[in-house]
């Protein structure tokens, strides 16, 4: 990444604003909800195997909306069980929103929440230093492996926490999405080398295959309206461009040829399609459900 450009994650307020706009403009949460209600219940039915209490962990849980959707399905499959839920989330603001959501939601008495204001890496260090041995029945890592230094090692550590019938659920952008094409083309100019910002499920599958780890995969078609990105000076367009490139104030700090290259690529069929005069970006996600270490 050019030294004149800063990573979007360095400005938490702008990151959260751009993320919120991304959620409004994309079908991301909708495609996740379709998966949670359609496919996840059968996966959750296989965890726990008759236990009275299940250990669950959310790594990078954000404000908790998706977590609670999953818990509703878990409760339907295992109505008699209690749940110990470890929430791992570095943003104080997001953790606060999660706690507010829990306080407003009825019938969550069966869940005990433990709040860990930590990154995935800090939590791993904490776990190792305290020699913790508790095993997990279900761990989910949704859209968070971009923010660790070594995604493969992170997956392996959290996989090692799984109990015999446990499952690790990973959701990332698919390598067939517009993100995959954008990152393959501009990886050296855009990607923050301190974290693995440009990782896709293609990278994780290659890693798991190299370790002969068994997993199942599910594509989640999703899209995002990025039309405003092509209107110079449009504030929402600039926020979306920041989110797409993960660069803070991309429009004003990127070299002109990089900005032009990114905008040209975003309009190609490799990344987007035009629908009724709108530019619709391919935001396809992929779910990986990883089995325990053998």
Q: Is 124 annotated as a binding residue?
A: no
Angle between helices 92-104 and 65-77 (to 10 degrees): 40
Cα-Cα-Cα-Cα dihedral sign, residues 131, 133, 134, 135 = positive
Contacts of 85 (CB under 8 A, 6+ apart): 56, 57, 58, 67, 71, 111, 112, 113, 114
Integer Cα distance of 5 and 254 in angstroms: 6
Does residue 272 contact residue 263 with C-beta atoms inside 8 Å? no
Tokens encoding 245:
């490139």
Contact (CB, 8 A) for 206 and 198: no
Residue 246 among known ligand-binding residues: no
The binding site comprises 28, 283
The binding site for substrate comprises 28, 283
């Amino acid at each position: 990444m050019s030294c004149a450009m800063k990573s979007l994650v360095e400005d938490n307020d702008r990151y959260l604003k751009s993320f919120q706009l991304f959620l409004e403009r994309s079908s991301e949460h909708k495609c996740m909800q379709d998966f949670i209600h359609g496919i996840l219940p059968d996966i959750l039915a296989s965890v726990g195997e008759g236990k009275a209490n299940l250990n669950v962990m959310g790594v990078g849980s954000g404000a908790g909306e998706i977590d609670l959707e999953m818990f509703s399905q878990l409760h339907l499959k295992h109505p008699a069980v209690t749940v110990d839920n470890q929430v791992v989330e570095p943003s104080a603001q997001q953790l606060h929103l999660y706690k507010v959501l829990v306080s407003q939601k009825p019938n969550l008495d069966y869940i005990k929440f433990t709040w860990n204001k930590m990154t995935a890496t800090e939590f791993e260090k904490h776990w190792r230093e305290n020699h913790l041995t508790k095993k997990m029945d279900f761990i989910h890592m949704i859209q968070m492996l971009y923010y660790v230094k070594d995604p493969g090692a992170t997956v392996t550590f959290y996989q090692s926490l799984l109990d015999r019938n446990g499952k690790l659920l990973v959701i990332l952008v698919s390598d067939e999405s517009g993100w995959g094409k954008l990152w393959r083309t501009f990886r050296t100019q855009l990607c923050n080398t301190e974290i693995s910002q440009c990782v896709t499920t293609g990278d994780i599958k290659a890693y798991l295959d190299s370790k002969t780890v068994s997993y199942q995969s599910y594509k989640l078609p999703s899209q995002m309206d990025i039309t405003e990105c092509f209107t110079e000076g449009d504030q929402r367009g600039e926020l979306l461009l920041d989110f797409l490139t993960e660069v803070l104030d991309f429009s004003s700090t990127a070299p002109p040829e990089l900005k032009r290259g990114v905008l040209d690529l975003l309009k190609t069929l490799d990344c987007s399609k035009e629908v009724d005069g709108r530019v619709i970006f391919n935001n396809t996600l992929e779910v990986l459900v990883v089995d325990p270490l053998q």
